[in-house]
Amino acid sequence: MGFENHEFEAEQGPSWQRPNWRFGETDELTGALDPTQMAVEIKAAAKAAGKPIAQGDAVAAASDSIRAMMLVRTYRVRGHLAANLDPLGLSKQEIPADLDPAYHGFTDADLDRPVYVGGTLGFDWVSIRELVATLRANYCGTVGLEYMHIADVEERRFLQERMEGKDKAISFSPEGKKAILGKVIEAEQYEKFLARKYVGTKRFGLDGGEAMIPALEAIIKYGGALGVREIVYGMPHRGRLNVLANVLAKPYRIIFHEFSGGSANPEDVGGSGDVKYHLGTSTDREFDGIKVHMSLAPNPSHLEAVNPVVLGKVRANQTIRDDLGKDKHVQVLPVLLHGDAAFAGQGIVWECLGFSGIRGYNTGGCIHFIVNNQVGFTTSPQFARSSPYPSDVAKGVQAPIFHVNGDDPEAVTFACKMAIEFRQKFKRDIVIDMWCYRRFGHNEGDEPSFTQPLMYKTIKGKPGVSDVYAARLQAEGVIDGNWAAEHATRFVGLLEQEFTAGQNYKANEADWFGGRWAGLNKPADPETARRNVPTGMTKKLMDGLGRTLTTVPEGLTIHPTLNRVLEAKKTMFSSGENFDWATGEALAFGSLLSEGYGVRLSGQDSGRGTFSHRHAVGGPDRRA
């Protein structure tokens, strides 16, 4: 039996289909690759410029234009493969053959002949030499962008408009450059200070990846300007103490107090007793008069296990702030930091990415920042994963990916600025993959040259990130020869003061139950702590819930089998016999709703999945 007698609407899809589910047009150059149309455009453009050309010349020019546009597309797709990403210079990446003009049929004699590209990269007519120079500057510098796997044309154009063109070099004002250098110096000196004061203590330092600190600060600053009012962070050990101090502004004296065995919690609030590089905090920071609340979730040694916790917390805060749904997801931002091996190797990463666009779980996009030490724990990438980059798994949800050289703090900060702009506009995940290194191995008690002798021979003689960047700014005339040293001296002096203050630090009165936690208090006695309180419901409420649970809305025709189930439940409520666990669960939910509490139904048994529960749709949380 065939489908000959059936008619289908071309655009018809399932009732649950998401608007952005289908793959749309995947190449905006499609129209430009029609030789006839291109020849017509070239003739018109030449005439408008006062240099009309014959039809035969227009056809030849169209051939040049098409090959030039294919060259542009190749750089958009594969330019990142020629980018300068490795601060150690150990990753030797040959320039792919198809990035060479000769691959596209342009000889040396053709390089200076004007070619029509119709506004691409801001050019109407351009020589191949200038076109390639611009493409290399845009896509093969210290930032490499992967985005042509994205189906949405507008998302690609958004990124192209910010990356492409002769005038699109990464630029910051002199004051901005000084601010970036200052944060890099503070990140570096903070690690050195901890190493001096707590010799032999594990801290999982950020040494080699300090460019992350000003970049994360940029997310707060630009995010606040774009509507973000709360950021929830999750991260592993690497750099946690630096993030706590220099991004979330946890007082240095408290961190030093904790290093000495003290607690940051008042005596009336119990502490976790966990090691320093597992701890979290919350704080407020203000940029340009805009206050942003930030919290860092505690995280055990299971690394990426914190990811769903952070995303769930963000989703809850979005619910509280009424920040869910179309044109929302603006105020609360998740930021997840990852190690390179963990991002590529732990399944929970993909599970969270896979849920990122699903109704009920969507948080409006997460910014993922990979601290790519190029070595995982002790293993070189070629022996640890099958993909070229640790970030490749994110292509499965069409997330744009910025690969950045960690020795260029401006590039890393630029990538984070782009990331927050993209997230706020399109409400989708985005990844920054910062290539850096670990100066002291997996932890400060490790001897990394046992497993990576060549890498650590290079690292041993390598100047720090602040030295590299300070030398660059001095060459540009932004700072003088003393600026960096003076800034470091002032900052170390501050740390010494805070270290002394930390020895006598005492936590203030507990304020853990303020704000939205007002009204919650620690139990005054052990008996109260057991919470032995009546939890039953009145017969009147139970009868009312029973009627609600077994009444089919008027005009709705249900499946005959489901109807028999509901009739049996009616009998159960009227007789009071043979109650089942599923009904008890529904009564519990119903009683909470009757008291004004929200109930979130989630999972495959709620409106989209298995067994006979699939008809039970999670009504209280149906927003996108």
Do residues 151 and 24 touch, judged by C-beta distance below 8 A? yes
Does residue 336 carry a pLDDT above 80?
Answer: yes
Sort 323 into a burial class: Cβ within 10 Å, 0-12 / 13-18 / 19+: buried
Q: Please give the Cα distance from 159 to 162 (Å, whole number).
A: 5
Residue with tokens 């699109």: 168
pLDDT (0 to 100) of residue 283: 86
Q: Are strands 401-405 and 143-146 parallel, antiparallel or unpaired?
A: antiparallel
Q: Please give the Cα distance from 366 to 334 (Å, whole number).
A: 5
Do residues 342 and 236 touch, judged by C-beta distance below 8 A? yes
State the average pLDDT over residues 239-243: 92
pLDDT tier at 518, thresholds 50, 70, 90 = low
Lowest mean pLDDT among 55-64, 311-320, 381-390: 55-64
pTM (two decimals): 0.86
Average pLDDT over the chain, rounded to an integer: 85
State the average pLDDT over residues 478-485: 96
At 381-427, the pLDDT tens digits run 888 888 999 999 999 999 999 999 999 999 999 999 999 999 999 99
pLDDT (0 to 100) of residue 4: 46
| CB within 8 Å of 427: residues ≥ 6 apart | 329, 362, 364, 365
pLDDT tier at 607, thresholds 50, 70, 90 = low
At 10-55, the pLDDT tens digits run 444 455 455 554 444 445 554 456 676 767 777 677 767 766 776 6
In 249-349, beta strands by DSSP E: 281-287, 290-296, 332-339
Domains defined for the chain, CATH in brackets: 31-140 (no CATH), 174-507 (3.40.50.970), 539-621 (no CATH)
At 426-438, the pLDDT tens digits run 999 999 999 999 9
Strands across the sheet with 401-405, in order? 143-146, 401-405, 430-435, 367-372, 332-339, 230-234, 290-296, 281-287
Does residue 279 carry a pLDDT above 70?
Answer: no
At 107-147, the pLDDT tens digits run 999 999 999 898 999 999 999 999 999 999 999 999 999 99
* Of residues 154, 153, 114, the one with CA closest to residue 131: 114
pLDDT (0 to 100) of residue 458: 93
pLDDT (0 to 100) of residue 32: 55
Percentage of the residues of the chain whose pLDDT score is greater than 90: 54
Contacts of the segment 376-382: beta carbons below 8 A, 24+ positions apart: 376/339, 376/340, 376/341, 376/342, 376/345, 377/341, 377/442, 378/442, 378/448, 378/451, 378/452, 379/341, 379/451, 380/452, 381/340
3-class DSSP state for residue 570?
helix
At 201-231, the pLDDT tens digits run 888 889 999 999 999 999 999 999 999 999 9
Query: Taking the alpha carbons of 306, 310, 316, 319 in that order, is the dihedral positive or negative?
Result: negative
State the average pLDDT over residues 235-248: 92
Does residue 178 carry a pLDDT above 50?
Answer: yes
Query: Taking the alpha carbons of 134, 139, 140, 143 in that order, is the dihedral positive or negative?
Result: positive
pLDDT (0 to 100) of residue 519: 64
Does residue 99 carry a pLDDT above 50?
Answer: yes
Does residue 622 carry a pLDDT above 60?
Answer: no
pLDDT (0 to 100) of residue 524: 64
Do residues 488 and 467 touch, judged by C-beta distance below 8 A? no
State the average pLDDT over residues 460-468: 95
State the average pLDDT over residues 515-531: 62
